[in-house]
Each structure stands twice: as structure tokens, then as C-alpha cells.
Amino acid sequence: NAILKRKIPEKKVFFATILAICGVALMSVSDGLTMTVGAWLCIGGATCYAVQIIVTDRALGDKGSCRVLVIGVWQMAFAAVLGGIAALCVGETSLSLNGEGWIAVWGLALISSAYGYTAQTIAQKSVRPERIGFIYSLEPVFCAILAFLFFHEIMSLKELFGAILIFLSIIL
């Protein structure tokens, strides 16, 4: 975002960004500090989130709340089209789900996607895009917490230190 706006970020934002990147790296890379497929997927997802946050910020501009719903609809339309293309490429296009399967699909579509992206767009009217990015950097931390709660996975000291760095980036 700093490059597009041709504005040097504040020192606090720059330092918090370094903390968040180091934290995500510590949580993502393997013990030999090599990049696994999962680490590359994490970087790709983070890059896509960053682009989405910047595009949303630019699309909101100085307009009122009427743009929020329009942006939310466009985001879901693009997600549906890109998801459909990916499903066709992979070959996983079966629509023969049972009742529980359709409940899960609609729950994910409405709560995780439609509500999540619309709520982010609403929040982005009053929160700087950098702050939204730092909040999104908590995703691997919450994944690790859920993995502990549901699958009894234990974080290594390196991963725990990475999570602490991510929390510190939010606090700044």
C-alpha cells in the first residue's frame, strides 16, 4: 500500500510489519528453516489477503456505506467464479451432498465468506488497511490454537515465539 500511495510507512508500522513477517515465518518454516509446500501456500495466501485489503481500501475511497454492500457482492462473485474454475481444474465438482454437507457449504458461504468479507469492508471504513493486515496475520496463531484444542498438537518453542511476535505486531 505504501508503494501505491508513494508514501513511506510510519516507523511503528514498518517495525510491526517486520515483527509480523518474522512471526509468520517462525510459525511456517520447518526446523531446518526450509520452505515447505505449506509455507509457500501461507505466503501465497498472505499475498492474496494483502492485495484484497489494498483493493478494498482503494474501492472504498471516500464514499459512504452504500459501497460496502456492492464491494461485498463483487468479492463473493469473484470468489465463486475463481472457486468454480479451481474445482473444474481439479475435477472435484460433485454436487451430491447429503443434508449435513449442504448445511456446511451454506454455513461456510454465508458466515465465513459473505459475512466475513462484508464485515471486513465495513471495518475498513474506519480502520487503516495496515491494521487490518496485522489482524489477518493472526490467522496462523488461531490455527495453532485450534489445532491444540481439537487435535492436541503442541507448538514448538520456535512457533510459540512466532505467535508472540505476531501478537506484538498487533499491539504496536
Give the predicted TM-score (pTM) of the model: 0.68
Residue 63 has pLDDT above 90, yes or no: no
pLDDT in tens, 72-107: 788 888 888 888 888 888 876 666 778 787 888 788
Average pLDDT taken over every residue of the chain: 80
By mean pLDDT, which of 5-9, 24-28, 121-125, 153-157 is the weakest?
Answer: 5-9
3-state secondary structure the chain: CHHHHCCCCCHHHHHHHHHHHHHHHHHHCCCCCCCCHHHHHHHHHHHHHHHHHHHHHHHHCCCCCHHHHHHHHHHHHHHHHHHHHHHHHHCCCCCCCCHHHHHHHHHHHHHHHHHHHHHHHHHHCCCCHHHHHHHHCCHHHHHHHHHHHHHCCCCCHHHHHHHHHHHHHHHC
